Structure 1
Amino acid sequence: MASIEDLLQRRTDLSTFLIHLTRDTLGNVGPSARENLLTMIGDGYIEACSPFGPASMHEPNLTYAATQKVVCFTETPLEHTWMMLEDIDKRDVHFQPYGLAVTKTTARRAGCNPVWYSDITPGRDWPIDAVNAMVNDAVRRATTGRTVDRDKLSEEPIFKLTPFFEQMGPTKYSRKEFWWEREWRRIGDFPLYPRRTVAVLAPAHNHEHLRKELTEINEGWGARPILDPHWGLERMIAAIAQISDEHIGPFPDAG
């Protein structure tokens, strides 16, 4: 009898990996995507900077125990990472070709969980409506007059769930969908270790210089494969197998 692991490795519609891509600082007034990548590797963790989910607006009134700040990943297969870098109509998130790839197993052991998407297309009641109602009820229970009791609010169980909820469907200015985002999240910072990281992502022209910088941070990071997210699967396999460029092809060497 076959195990599920034996079967899943042959499914090309499912990804073994999770991808975390970095962005330039908004307004280009801070670190670049490349600098952000080196910072997180040097620090040894991906910082959970921003709150997400239907309770994200309540983050200022929550303690760390109920934080809505998360680290985000996408379940996109390695060879399709390029799609996440495209300038897509009505998409308000713009990533750069720098990031990291880890396995789902590594991510799950670190507390990552798939995001639960709820449709918001007008015309019927959706699960997210019930979630929003529970959030509003929790806020009312913790509010006296105009004052919100942060400790009391943070004890509400719904805030343990809300970071893992996301809407899908059209909004006034954008659109988000499960069938290509396939997001995973971890509440709080995500720890990084060279041996638990499948590959570093960066444009090919930057690989040589980047590897030197990674080696200066830690020899373990300097030894990790570096993949260009615009490469195809065959080119990525060759890089992971540490086959040098002159032996990749596309034509056999007559000599």
Structure 2
Amino acid sequence: MSNDLPFFERPDLSPYLVHLTRRSSENGSSAFENLVSILLEGRIEGSTTKKGFIKGSNPATCFMDVPLSSLKYVLNEANTDPAKPRYEPYGILVTKKTAYKKGCRPVIYLSNAEMEQLGIDEDEKWRVVRLENVDGKGINWIHEREWRCKGSFDLPESPIAVLVKDSSEAKNLQKIISKHKRELISIPNSVIPLSILCQGLPYMV
């Protein structure tokens, strides 16, 4: 019996995982520049406890299981505050099949107390995201439906797509890809402007 998920029948499901990039406070690189760097290196570097709220001693690479049409709810006013953005409208899409083969799995949502009660090993704590309540006041990130893999994530040679802010930046990235084709480890099959996909980005004019 097949257990393929019927994506065409379920608007809340997606065959893709999304990794969104943002600016770097360490070296001043923009989210767009970081996206280009990822394509040049063919790798998404894993986040750490210091840089990405990853528990335990191991870094991990984070993705979201969010349908593309719902990214506008992730890129909301609170998450895209220019002073300290949690997310910016740049990123990479990979298929779930590819991600699964490379060790990506849905995270485990647990309270700190539950994590200790279950005796989660230090080496496996990168899998855990804190969940303290579901009343709208406690710590709760379930809506991001996060997937992670341990360490960095090596991209395929041809990722399904990359995401940029608007059509102007899509043209810019296409020029960069054309000019530096021999240098890029990963060349996306398509470049998607999020301003079109999300029918506008009202908080990012």
**TM-score, length-normalised on structure 2?**
0.78
**Structure 1 unmatched runs, 5+:** 60-67, 121-125, 136-157, 235-255
1:82 deviates by: 2.1
Take 1:187 and 1:45, find their aligned partners in 2: how far apart are those partners?
13
Deviating beyond 6 angstroms after TM superposition, the runs of 4 or more aligned structure 1 residues are none
**Structure 2 counterpart of 1:42, from 7, 24, 40:** 40
- Residues 82 and 230, structure 1, Cα contact 8 Å, conserved in 2: no
Take 1:19 and 1:6, find their aligned partners in 2: how far apart are those partners?
18
User: What residue number does 1:12 align with?
Assistant: 11
The structure-2 alpha-carbon separation of the partners of 1:81 and 1:194, relative to structure 1 and needing over 3 Å to count, comes to farther
1:230 deviates by: 3.6
State the secondary structure of the residue aligned to 1:95.
coil
Take 1:159 and 1:177, find their aligned partners in 2: how far apart are those partners?
21
- Residues 115 and 166, structure 1, Cα contact 8 Å, conserved in 2: yes
State the secondary structure of the residue aligned to 1:18.
strand
1:93 deviates by: 5.8
User: What residue number does 1:101 align with?
Assistant: 93
User: What residue number does 1:128 align with?
Assistant: 115
**Structure 2 counterpart of 1:177, from 141, 144, 148:** 141
User: What residue number does 1:198 align with?
Assistant: 160
State the secondary structure of the residue aligned to 2:32.
helix
1:164 deviates by: 0.3
State the secondary structure of the residue aligned to 1:26.
coil
1:189 and 2:176 are equivalent in the alignment? no
Determine what percentage of the aligned residue pairs are the same residue: 27
Take 2:172 and 2:64, find their aligned partners in 1: how far apart are those partners?
27
State the secondary structure of the residue aligned to 2:196.
coil
1:127 deviates by: 2.4
Cα deviation, 1:218-247, whole Å, max 9, x if unaligned, reads 27866621112243489xxxxxxxxxxxxx
The equivalences for 1:96-245 within 5 A come to: 96-119=88-111, 127-131=114-118, 134=119, 158-169=121-132, 175-178=139-142, 180-195=143-158, 197-203=159-165, 204-218=167-181, 224-232=189-197
State the secondary structure of the residue aligned to 2:14.
coil
The equivalences for 1:22-61 within 5 A come to: 22-26=21-25, 30-51=28-49, 52-55=53-56, 59=57
State the secondary structure of the residue aligned to 2:189.
coil
Take 1:176 and 1:215, find their aligned partners in 2: how far apart are those partners?
42
1:17 deviates by: 0.7
User: What residue number does 1:155 align with?
Assistant: none
**Structure 2 unmatched runs, 5+:** 200-205
- Residues 44 and 192, structure 1, Cα contact 8 Å, conserved in 2: yes
Take 1:194 and 1:116, find their aligned partners in 2: how far apart are those partners?
29
Instruction: Work out which of the two has the higher radius of gyration on C-alpha atoms and give 1 or 2.
Output: 1
The structure-2 alpha-carbon separation of the partners of 1:93 and 1:182, relative to structure 1 and needing over 3 Å to count, comes to farther
The structure-2 alpha-carbon separation of the partners of 1:223 and 1:162, relative to structure 1 and needing over 3 Å to count, comes to closer
Cα deviation, 1:80-122, whole Å, max 9, x if unaligned, reads 1222221338x986111111001111101111111011257xx
Cα deviation, 1:48-105, whole Å, max 9, x if unaligned, reads 14234442xxx3xxxxxxxx1011000011121222221338x986111111001111
Give me the CA root mean square deviation. 3.0
Take 1:45 and 1:31, find their aligned partners in 2: how far apart are those partners?
17
- Residues 160 and 190, structure 2, Cα contact 8 Å, conserved in 1: yes
